[in-house]
Structure 1
Amino acid sequence: MANKGLLRATLTLLAGGALAQALPLLLGPWLTRVYTPAEFGQFSFLWALASNVAVVGCARYEFALPLEAEASPAAVLMALCARVLLVVTAVSAVVGGMLWAWQDLAFSWLMPLAVLAAAATQWLTLWGMRAQRFHLLAWARVLQYGGGALLQLVFGLLSLGVVGLLLGPILAGLATAALLARPAPLGGWAGLWRVPSQALRAMATKHRDFPLFNTPHAFVGALQDSVAMLLIAAWAGDAAAGFWALALRYCKAPAGLIGGALAQVLYPRLVAAVDGPEALRVVRRTMAVLLLLSAPLVLALLLGGPWMFATLFGQAWQPAGEVARALAPYIALHFVASPLSVAMMAWRAQAWGLRLALAGQVLFVLGLAGGLALGGLVGAAWGVSAAMLAYFTYFFWALAHWQNFPRVGEHVSIPA
């Protein structure tokens, strides 16, 4: 019955994710004809930077929400997330101002709104996961991704340029957060600001592993995209950064569709696993299925990546197809690893995950920089694929043979 519940919930989220991803994919050929590669490159740089901050917008405390079964401590945890997000958004406004002064990016004033939209959506998605409101989560994905692409097209037709590319996902993200904000936590949304500081400190201490280990892990992982965009733009220009961004955006779409839906169901499933052997069975079965699903993806990119991109997005975007072909092995490995990463949180292995992630980021940057020096943009893509093969192979082996599971009753209660 548990496996049937996992499958049913995954299919529900998958259906919503399919519709959510279909709109950006279908609108892609129009978007690449109303925006230039250089505009995509500038947008991708700022969006990658905002996403880098947003991924730790609540210090990853939101990922502890599925661990709190009772309404009262869950409300305290929500209050803690709200306060951290407020501080991070304020800091991102300062960062946006610095970018404006440093790089003369007139659109960097949107930085705090981008951080708020992305971080609030992630936070409230975990709130919906805790309540297992999978139908609502499915519609939220449609609004976030499909709505963002539609707005980008509208703003592109209005010739808003980079600002239009940014406003699309920002407005869609804020609307998605509003949708996911129901039901309100115990005491209501206004009540979150009346939670005693003593309760907040106790809750922060209880789940300190998330900011101590998972926050730097997530930040370093997201930093990968920011560093890549910075290196490529500095080495080969904004247009090259646009080619790289488009290749990753569409090649990683299956990971966002299948992996994102599966991760939202897999995390609470692993938390609820009665013992280690059951958790390992779930992980191994998931890994095997994802490996099988990734094979057609990598084959299609290797055989026809340049042709597909030139046909769909216009001849000017064929270099993005060359990048996609070279990134195919990395894309396939990332497709498998993305949903499985929640196992490190469910198994309280954030410290190990952080150490492994740091090693992975070093390998990624070395592969990217070495490839850029030896073979330009396409060489960078092949360098990344080669460098990350060893990293993901070890990651999959470690998860499939994990032994250090949390002890029963490890978590302690928190005073209200």
Structure 2
Amino acid sequence: MTNARGGAPSLVGATLTLLMGGALAQLLPLLLGPFIARLFTPAAMGVFTQFATVAATVAVAASLRYEQALPLARADDEAHALLALSLRLVAVAVLVSAPLAWLLHVAGWLPWPALLPLAVASAGTLQVLMLWANRAHRFRALAASRVVQYGGMALLQLALGWALWRSVASGAQAAWALILAPMAAQVLACLWLMRPVPAGGWAKLLRPASADLRDRMRAQARRHKDFALINTPHAFLGTLQDALAVALLVAWSGDAAAGFWGLALRYLKAPATLVGSAVSQALYPRLAGATPQEARRVVRQVMALLGGVALVLTLVLLVAGPWLFERIFGAPWRQAGELARALAPYIGAHFVAAPLAVVTMAWGAQAWAFRLALVGQVAFVVALALGLRAGGLLGGAWAVSAVMVPYFGWYFWRLARWPDVPASPPAAPGPAMGSGTP
């Protein structure tokens, strides 16, 4: 694979391609979601949310985030070494997840433990292949993979839910169908991202490494060590925040409360997933080669545009959140709409922040972002716990919004005025980029 950056598509063109694919990918879940919600109980959704948050927490650290360095690799041999390293780390994570699943299940924190290694394997492999395709500027393939991943998940959940509803009484025990569907869809999405084939083919890359490949993997691991030492804990703690939030909800209010929380956040964050993923995947390579002045200008423009959309989204949820959820998902889900109203300010801020995670990666500010994220994650969990204690489920949601809006405001202000934008991405051993959304 050649790294022909001079022929790369424009930021606008790449963003539109990914945005169109993401819109189609989100269309099926949005259309089928009300039917899925009527086939599964809030308790089943709660069990699914418990599993999904634990699986995401493990999977996000599966490759130690080394795949995030793939778009920065200048030469093909560097990219191949990073790819080989990332996939081997995913394999190790799958092996480790088996005993971990048993321990978490015994502790009462993980339903359906036998499925955790499969979830880690499918999610970990997909996140590596997405960055592999990103480096090659295969934005159409990335868009198609998202359609398969999200649309396929919704179709499978609907089909399995219908079969269970027709044959046996559904309840919390039917959550396995909700859990299995996204894993199958992720496996199918991986098939769209197998190209470009690495030199020598996938079989050669995945077989026991030669001495030369081991040396190159070690060199890339040292060069991009900040992805493992800073970016991985950052991303891990971000998903751990979600897992702890769900654990608090289950302990305080039961599986149904986790189901309301999970459904509300899944739909409220769908716009951020759609727009944020498209913008960030196109923005990352653009920032990697931009001048400091151009980089600041692009980041401020992105924040302003996303802020306008976020304001409209927030107002709609504040005014009509409960009514919308009851109309769309049925009367049992009105409480999810009440949650949506309480979380609306937080969701609006998160919508703007989601695609900006790549900014601190491209600017070498991963250590600062990690420290800030720790503050935000602790604040989120503490606010939720105190809110649950003082006002139940809705009290926890309003407390989260009250704490997280000023937190994100500080984050936006600092990015807009960032003083040390690098003139070019690092191409020699030294600090590498890597961070996630605070």
TM-score range, shorter chain: over 0.9
Deviations 1:190-217 (A, max 9, x none): 2224343221111100001111111011
Residue type of the alignment partner of 1:131: A
Unmatched tracts of structure 2, length 5 or more: 1-5, 165-172, 431-438
The answer to whether 1:367 aligns with 2:387 is: no
Residue type of the alignment partner of 1:412: A
1:99 is displaced (CA, Å) by 3.0
The answer to whether 1:185 aligns with 2:198 is: yes
RMSD of aligned C-alpha atoms? 1.8
Same amino acid, percent of matched pairs = 52
What's the TM-score, normalizing by structure 2? 0.91
Q: 2:374 matched to which residue of 1?
A: 358
Aligned residues of 2:72 and 2:425 also touching (Cα < 8 A): no
Residue of 295, 320, 331 corresponding to 1:315: 331
The answer to whether 1:332 aligns with 2:348 is: yes
Unmatched tracts of structure 1, length 5 or more: none
- Greater shift, 158-167 or 54-63, is seen at 158-167
1:408 is displaced (CA, Å) by 4.3
Residue of 396, 403, 409 corresponding to 2:419: 403
Alpha carbons of 1:332 and 1:404: their partners in 2 closer, same or farther (altered >3 Å)?
same
1:187 is displaced (CA, Å) by 2.4
Following the alignment from structure 2 to structure 1, what is the Cα–Cα distance between the partners of residues 427 and 334? 53
Residue type of the alignment partner of 1:118: A
Q: 1:99 matched to which residue of 2?
A: 104
Q: Give the 3-state SS of the residue equivalent to 2:299 in structure 1.
A: helix
1:219-230 matched pairs, under 5 angstroms: 219-230=236-247
Alpha carbons of 1:158 and 1:105: their partners in 2 closer, same or farther (altered >3 Å)?
farther
Aligned residues of 2:346 and 2:404 also touching (Cα < 8 A): yes
Deviations 1:169-189 (A, max 9, x none): 000001111221222212221
Q: 1:246 matched to which residue of 2?
A: 263
Following the alignment from structure 1 to structure 2, what is the Cα–Cα distance between the partners of residues 136 and 340? 23
Deviations 1:239-276 (A, max 9, x none): 00100000000010100111111111011111111x21
The answer to whether 1:163 aligns with 2:180 is: no
1:393 is displaced (CA, Å) by 0.7
1:122 is displaced (CA, Å) by 1.2
Following the alignment from structure 1 to structure 2, what is the Cα–Cα distance between the partners of residues 92 and 143? 26
Following the alignment from structure 2 to structure 1, what is the Cα–Cα distance between the partners of residues 8 and 141? 21
Q: 1:216 matched to which residue of 2?
A: 233
The answer to whether 1:263 aligns with 2:284 is: no
Aligned residues of 1:100 and 1:109 also touching (Cα < 8 A): no
Aligned residues of 1:228 and 1:368 also touching (Cα < 8 A): yes
Aligned residues of 2:54 and 2:110 also touching (Cα < 8 A): no
Q: Give the 3-state SS of the residue equivalent to 2:384 in structure 1.
A: helix
The answer to whether 1:277 aligns with 2:293 is: yes
1:363 is displaced (CA, Å) by 0.8
Aligned residues of 1:305 and 1:324 also touching (Cα < 8 A): yes
Aligned residues of 2:52 and 2:179 also touching (Cα < 8 A): yes
Q: 1:305 matched to which residue of 2?
A: 321
Residue type of the alignment partner of 1:352: W
Following the alignment from structure 2 to structure 1, what is the Cα–Cα distance between the partners of residues 300 and 15? 17
Alpha carbons of 1:3 and 1:279: their partners in 2 closer, same or farther (altered >3 Å)?
farther
Q: 1:25 matched to which residue of 2?
A: 30
Deviations 1:357-407 (A, max 9, x none): 000001101111111011110111101001111210111011111122335
Q: 1:128 matched to which residue of 2?
A: 133
Deviations 1:262-299 (A, max 9, x none): 111011111111x2111101100000000011111101
Alpha carbons of 1:339 and 1:105: their partners in 2 closer, same or farther (altered >3 Å)?
closer
Q: Give the 3-state SS of the residue equivalent to 1:158 in structure 2.
A: helix
Q: Give the 3-state SS of the residue equivalent to 1:39 in structure 2.
A: helix
1:100 is displaced (CA, Å) by 3.4
Residue type of the alignment partner of 1:130: R
Q: Give the 3-state SS of the residue equivalent to 2:397 in structure 1.
A: helix
1:104 is displaced (CA, Å) by 8.9
Following the alignment from structure 2 to structure 1, what is the Cα–Cα distance between the partners of residues 63 and 9? 32
Q: 2:435 matched to which residue of 1?
A: none
The answer to whether 1:140 aligns with 2:157 is: no
Residue type of the alignment partner of 1:11: L
Residue of 181, 185, 200 corresponding to 1:172: 185
1:4 is displaced (CA, Å) by 8.2
Alpha carbons of 1:104 and 1:320: their partners in 2 closer, same or farther (altered >3 Å)?
closer
Following the alignment from structure 2 to structure 1, what is the Cα–Cα distance between the partners of residues 174 and 110? 13
Following the alignment from structure 2 to structure 1, what is the Cα–Cα distance between the partners of residues 287 and 426? 15
Q: 1:237 matched to which residue of 2?
A: 254
Q: How many residues align?
A: 413
The answer to whether 1:11 aligns with 2:20 is: no
Aligned residues of 1:276 and 1:403 also touching (Cα < 8 A): no
1:3 is displaced (CA, Å) by 12
Aligned residues of 1:39 and 1:161 also touching (Cα < 8 A): yes
1:409 is displaced (CA, Å) by 7.1
What's the TM-score, normalizing by structure 1? 0.96
Aligned residues of 2:27 and 2:151 also touching (Cα < 8 A): yes
Q: Give the 3-state SS of the residue equivalent to 2:199 in structure 1.
A: coil
Q: Give the 3-state SS of the residue equivalent to 2:428 in structure 1.
A: coil
1:2 is displaced (CA, Å) by 11
Residue type of the alignment partner of 1:101: V
